[in-house]
Structure 1
Amino acid sequence: MSTPSFASLTTLRVGGAPSALYECASAASLAETVAKLDRDRVPLLVVGGGSNLLVADGELDLAAVLVRNEGISLDDDLRLRAQAGTEWDAVVAYAVEHGLGGIEALSGIPGSAGATPVQNVGAYGAEIADVLTRVRLYNRETGADEWVDASSLDLAYRYSNLKFTSRAVVLEIELQLAETDVSIPLRHLGGERVPLAEARESVLATRRAKGMVLDAADHDTWSAGSFFTNPVVPSALADAIEAQVGEERMPRFPAGDGQEKLSAAWLIERAGCPRGFPGEGAPARLSTKHTLALTNRGSATAADIAALARRVQDQVRDAFGVELHPEPVWVGL
């Protein structure tokens, strides 16, 4: 039987075949597998839900290590632990069902629990850094299986020191939640706090409307979610862009030290890349629901996705002098 390709292991549904595939159903198995491959000097890629990966086409000289250890537990101090391979949205559903607040705004984000600290996932006014206390890691440099404090991960906007480094593999995460009847203030509701279950449904409805909840029948969800991070630029450049476009209420948010965070989606649209860009017939297109998602319309290759990403980057740079940075990890491209 042939080895499954990365097209079957990622939400973008593109990518070639790994040299070998290892499915790890426990934290111990995951650590042992990575350790053995490292000892044998076999290049590898750790794959959870595959929602943040853009993997090259063709035969790939690397092994795929699938994170499939699952499970959720809760202690008396309301510390929730989730095995790395647990579906992230199942963690959120568990918390909401048990009347625990703090992650309801992160409903519907695809992928596994182990991936959440790697890029400090966030949405609608919340991010994993708000509740993450510790992470259990297999340290590929020392061989240690150890719990480390969240403070050691340098968590920032869509960043941790685990991202792009491959220095360690997440085995388990620990979150500090709180008993509550109402949600955190939700950005998409203007800062309103609502009952937890209502908050979750509201977030899911908003994400579905943007094609950000996985649906095999909807090509707008054959994506890696938001493909570019929101750029942080000097306030003077933000002023210049606002004057250039000539629209009121350009999305801009203080980012400290004379910097402001702009909306990547807003910039993409005003740089001449509307929803569905570059148009019917293209195998890779911007989502018809949200310009921040690059989508596979059913026959795209990794090269098609990469080419579209570069085209969007070029147009935004040419129009506004702003460099957009991809959020997914590119492998072999």
Structure 2
Amino acid sequence: MANDVSYTPEEVAEILRISKFTVYELIKRGELMAYHVGRKVRIESADIESYKRKSKGLAPLDSPATTPSPSFAPTQGFSHNPSSDEGLVICGQDILLDILTRYLERQFPQVHFLRRYIGSIDGLMALYRGHANAVTAHLWDSDTNDYNLPYVRRLLPGHPTYIINLVYRMEGFYVAKGNPKNVTTWSDLTKPKVRFINRERGSGARVLLDEQLRILGIRSRDIVGYGEEEMTHLAVASKVARGEADVGLGIEKVAMQFVNLDFIPLHKERYDLVIRQEDLERTHFQALMSILKSPSFRNEVIGIGGYDISSMGEIMAEI
């Protein structure tokens, strides 16, 4: 594609074989660059190519391969005790965190609320190191059949925390419409003609997969594509939708954005927010808790679809 060609979101959706809604989400998350001409949104062909390269784990065409992604660089200048002139860093990849951040920005326009789109284990490590203030996790422990508590205990020693529920979500397989490879169970990933696309190490989906493989005695080397990784549920679903993989693991909400995907439900997961206990009485965190319990926020999340909010805002554990 020539560099001087630009496209509308609808045209980009056709090129990438995804929904128009997904294109706007990619733009909002900063994964796909765009600009405005008046009230119209345009995406240049070079930025489409850049997004495709990043989805494949390749370096951007105009950047050296060793350049780290800004989203994963350590955040400087933010502590776990933010004042009005500091920022508050929220880690996690779900769209409901973008909505939560928007609500906080309305109440505290003087505060810089930053979003980092990183996986569960990286988020907990960022909280431990003081690079984040609130992080999400959906890490299943097969020994206890519990979510998040065992990992928080191990990764945040000496840091008392609250684990607060956001939502419950369904994890499962993304497959092409009609499920032509008939993939319905974890064991089906070992079928010789099934190409899998994995999530990055440290993500909740990757932990769930590896725990299930351990329980079933399945060797990762017997899964074609196990070593191929993507950084988000959206990128995994997009790869399956484009026919570059036969199956991937992710949440149901993302599958709803693709017209040519089916979703095979496998495991209901708990998606929690983790904060330090000392922070809960601070103004920003009290506001956050109030937002989680507010009818307006809950109704907006319900309207998105794909989430169980029955325990939203409840403290699941004190560690």
Taking structure 2 as the reference length, the TM-score comes to: 0.28
Larger relative contact order, structure 1 or 2 (CA cutoff 8 Å, min sep 6): 2
Taking structure 1 as the reference length, the TM-score comes to: 0.28
